[in-house]
Amino acid sequence: MNLSLKLELPSDPELLRVIRSAVKEFAAVTGFSEDDCRSITVAVDEALTNIIRHAYQNRHGEPIDLVCRRCDEGLEFILTDRGQPVDPAKLHGRPLADVRPGGLGMHIIQKIMDQVEYGQVPEGNRLRLMKYWKIRQEGKS
């Protein structure tokens, strides 16, 4: 059955742990394992961190919307911001073999989530993250 929760937060790193705890519990309520809940939380956190750092260039107090939704296929997260749009050429992060600080967020998000889509909507930039139920996930590989 569908279930959704919307969070409206400012781009303030202080709030990240509040959002993480909500995301983790939401994933638990929808039936994901403890390991999955933990990694889903990391992916959403990294996405929020990127919005704060890149879309808003570390400006605090700017609006971010996060919708968490349980649907038939799995768990969906939609993040919307009004900051600078993503530059698709930069989105890939660094090669993992090149060990240096930074450039890891996109790798983490992409490894954990089954779908990662950036887009533009009238409200601003939209990032959609999707995690399938385990059954689907196994079927896909």
Partner 1 sequence: MKTSTRQVGDATIVDVVGQIDLHSSSDLRKVLQETLRGKTAARVVVNLGRVDYIDSSGVAALVEGLKTSMGLKIRFVLCGLGPAVKELLKLTQLLSVFQVCESEEQALRA
Q: Which of 14, 61, 72, 90 touches ligand ADP by CB under 6 A?
A: 90
Q: CB-wise, 52 or 127, nearer to partner 1?
A: 52
Q: Are 115 and 127 in contact (CB under 8 A)?
A: no
Contacts of a copy of itself in 4-63 (CB under 8 A): 4-10, 12, 14-15, 17-22, 24-26, 29
Q: Smallest distance from the beta carbon of 42 to ligand ADP, in angstroms?
A: 12
Q: Which does 91 bind (CB under 5 to 8 A by kind): ligand ADP, a copy of itself, partner 1, none?
A: ligand ADP
Interface positions with ligand ADP (CB under 6 A): 50-51, 53-55, 84, 86, 90-91, 93, 102-106
